[in-house]
A and B are shown apart, each in its own frame.
Chain A
């Protein structure tokens, strides 16, 4: 059974830092792109970042670039998101997801999220 489990959420003050972790099982983690997607309370989904299977290529949404770092340990089937300079607008449930990310023969990108964790809540508040 494919499973993704997040941990590390909690309450943090503005300007503080937090590291989210995710462990995966049931699929070939080391061959998979992985992502974080967040959802602010009562709001829609927002893609945050993704990382290539070997960890060399990473992409971030503009609002977190230069503040956060995504990394992975394929030997441990784990993913980490180091979040610094946290702001109130970063308050959200953070989902760790497997991301399918590749081009077809015509150069069109296939990009979707097929396995989702249950999410971990990050609250940024004084």
Chain B
């Protein structure tokens, strides 16, 4: 059971938009910045979004992040076949057993 909650999968046709939700609590998302990672099968994860909505160099602006209260959202517009991957949200949790926390991951399926 992950500390952050994500839907197992989302799907859309090429060119469409998908959004992935990440739900947390006041001790994690409610207090700290959120990051997002993209992982292809058999590969290491890659940083996609940090500080809620900032993109590292080289990440296309089709990927965007937002945060409101204790939830965060990753949006992918102009969906492409190459976007099929698993996406994870992450942040720091300030509760008793403090540490880094991730969501369970969301598989994006391009129809």
- Chain B contributes a number of interface residues (CB within 8 A of A) equal to 28
B37 touches A110 (CB 8 A): no
Are B99 and A61 in contact (CB-based, < 8 A)? yes
Q: Are A114 and B44 in contact (CB under 8 A)?
A: no
Whether A118 and B44, one on each chain, are in contact in the complex, defined by CB atoms closer than 8 angstroms, is: yes
Interface string of A43-69 (1 = CB under 8 A from B): 011110010000000011110000000
Give the contacting residue for B91; candidates A50, A60, A61, A111; CB below 8 A: A111
- B105 contacts chain A at the CB level, 8 A cutoff: yes
Per DSSP, chain A at the interface is strand
Interface 0/1 of A84-100, CB less than 8 Å to B: 00000000000100011
**A108-B32, A109-B31 known; A116 and B97 CB under 8 Å?**
no
Q: Is the CB of A59 within 8 A of B98?
A: yes
Count the A residues whose beta carbon is within 8 Å of the partner chain — how many?
27
User: Hey, which bits of chain A sit against chain B, CB under 8 A?
Assistant: 35, 37, 44-47, 50, 59-62, 95, 99-101, 104, 108-114, 116-119
Distance of B90 from chain A, by nearest CB (Å): 7
Answer yes or no: B92 CB below 8 A from chain A CBs: yes
Number of A-B contacts (CB under 8 A): 76
In contact, A44 and B35 (Cβ under 8 angstroms): no
The smallest beta-carbon distance between A101 and chain B, in angstroms, is 8
A111 cross-chain contacts in B, Cβ below 8 A: 32-33, 35, 90-92, 100
Question: Please, which residues of chain A bring their CB within 8 A of the CB of B44?
Answer: 95, 116-119
The answer to whether the Cβ of B24 comes within 8 Å of any Cβ in the partner chain is no
For the complex, give the distance between the alpha carbons of A97 and B46 in Å: 11
CA distance A104 to B31 in the complex (A): 11
CB <8 Å contact, B45 and A110: no
